[in-house]
A and B are shown apart, each in its own frame.
Chain A
Amino acid sequence: MAECPHLEYRETAGEQTFETARAYCAVADEFVQPMRADICTGRYGLAPSEDCEIYREAAETDQ
């Protein structure tokens, strides 16, 4: 898996607004930290299913 299916890019969420669209997690319902965005985007060989506890918890809940 490359990019996480829960990843969105948004300029606005709640009271937060940015000039450039930022990584937003649809599971956590918040903008993600830039370091975590490297997992969301699958950079450097990272994989949401392996490296993101939010993804893994959501996947367990879905099962």
Chain B
Amino acid sequence: MNAGYHDGEPVVVTAALTGGVHGKEANPNLPETPAEIGEAAAACERAGASVVHLHARRENGERAFSTDRFQQVADAVREATDDVILQHSTGGTAAPEDRRIEPIRTDPPPEMASLDMGPLNRYDHLTSENTRAFVDRLHDEMRERGIKPELEVFNDGHLNETLAFLDRSDTTDPPYLNLVFGGGTTSPPSPRRLLTHLDDVPDGAEVNVLGFGPHQLPVTTTSMLVGGHARVGLEDNVYYRQGEPATSNAQLVERTATVAEQLGRPVATTTEARSILGL
């Protein structure tokens, strides 16, 4: 970790707009079509997000992995936004590996893409395997295409996997880790556990944090307090507060920006974010 709140390093705010698990059935304000995702990205950029994490959907909200559909989403986001950094998801529980590579084959490629560091259970019978061989295959293509990986660390075991990946790979500096807190296979959420995780993060790495559901605000706030970055959005949490559905992704980004400023951390511009992330 580079800086704490005293250093005043800007916070990189990532907006996870759509996701690949739930959809409008969970919150009708969740954007699914390319046009909706573009509009949401623009609103989040105005609210302080410098990175948008993108998934693609079919017209009926179901998951899409094709390069064509990601191209439509990326084009819509670029059209609607000023300078925001695009980060494509490569996650995809149960989808064949060849499909999961398609999102990074857009033209131009995204500046960033997610890279899941290990297995993750879904429902009672599914697992997103994310074998080391597949992680390396995805990373090789990201490197060829000049895409910066965000290393998705779902739990302590994935921290081990991340350290081993950094040893064997020639990924660009600084490593950018996203620590995930919530239920299931992710790290049990608590500020204390987040601080413990940070002890194991390699020197020089930048750390992003996300929390699912009601954990979004506490763990992202803790992250910003100790020098980390924050990811929020309807992919991770469809409520603004208990019992009150969020009205938009931008509403969640606005709150994060307010908290950051209150903690003495300015919200990173897109230029500052590119510098911090080594893009």
Does A59 belong to the interface (CB within 8 Å)?
A: no
For the complex, give the distance between the alpha carbons of A37 and B22 in Å: 10
B33-72 residues with Cβ-Cβ distance < 8 A to A are 57, 59-63
Check if B62 sits within 8 Å of A38, measured CB to CB: yes
Does B243 belong to the interface (CB within 8 Å)?
A: no
Check if B125 sits within 8 Å of A34, measured CB to CB: no
Check if A34 sits within 8 Å of B122, measured CB to CB: no
Check if B60 sits within 8 Å of A21, measured CB to CB: yes
Distance between B98 CB and nearest chain A CB, rounded to angstroms: 11
For the complex, give the distance between the alpha carbons of A50 and B24 in Å: 26
Determine the chain B residues whose CB is within 8 A of the CB of A53 once the complex forms. Answer: 123-125
For the complex, give the distance between the alpha carbons of A35 and B99 in Å: 15
Q: Which residue of B is nearest A16, CB measured?
A: B25
Check if B124 sits within 8 Å of A46, measured CB to CB: no
Determine the chain B residues whose CB is within 8 A of the CB of A51 once the complex forms. Answer: 94, 123, 125-126
Check if B22 sits within 8 Å of A34, measured CB to CB: yes
Check if B61 sits within 8 Å of A34, measured CB to CB: yes
Determine the chain A residues whose CB is within 8 A of the CB of B125 once the complex forms. Answer: 50-53
Distance between A14 CB and nearest chain B CB, rounded to angstroms: 11
Check if B61 sits within 8 Å of A22, measured CB to CB: yes
Distance between B64 CB and nearest chain A CB, rounded to angstroms: 9
Determine the chain B residues whose CB is within 8 A of the CB of A32 once the complex forms. Answer: 25
Determine the chain B residues whose CB is within 8 A of the CB of A20 once the complex forms. Answer: 59-61
Distance between A63 CB and nearest chain B CB, rounded to angstroms: 19
Determine the chain B residues whose CB is within 8 A of the CB of A39 once the complex forms. Answer: 94, 123, 126
Check if A23 sits within 8 Å of B62, measured CB to CB: yes
In the complex with contacts A20-B59, A23-B62, A53-B124, A34-B96 CB distance below 8 A: no
Check if A34 sits within 8 Å of B124, measured CB to CB: no
Distance between B137 CB and nearest chain A CB, rounded to angstroms: 18
Determine the chain A residues whose CB is within 8 A of the CB of B149 once the complex forms. Answer: none
For the complex, give the distance between the alpha carbons of A33 and B57 in Å: 12
Given contacts A30-B25, A39-B94, A53-B124, 6 further A-B contacts (CB under 8 A): A22-B25, A37-B61, A38-B63, A38-B95, A39-B126, A50-B125
9 closest A-B pairs by beta carbon, nearest first, are A31-B25, A53-B124, A51-B125, A34-B23, A35-B21, A37-B62, A34-B62, A33-B22, A20-B60
Residues of chain A touching chain B, judged by Cβ–Cβ distance below 8 Å, are 9, 16, 18, 20-23, 30-39, 41, 43-44, 46, 50-53
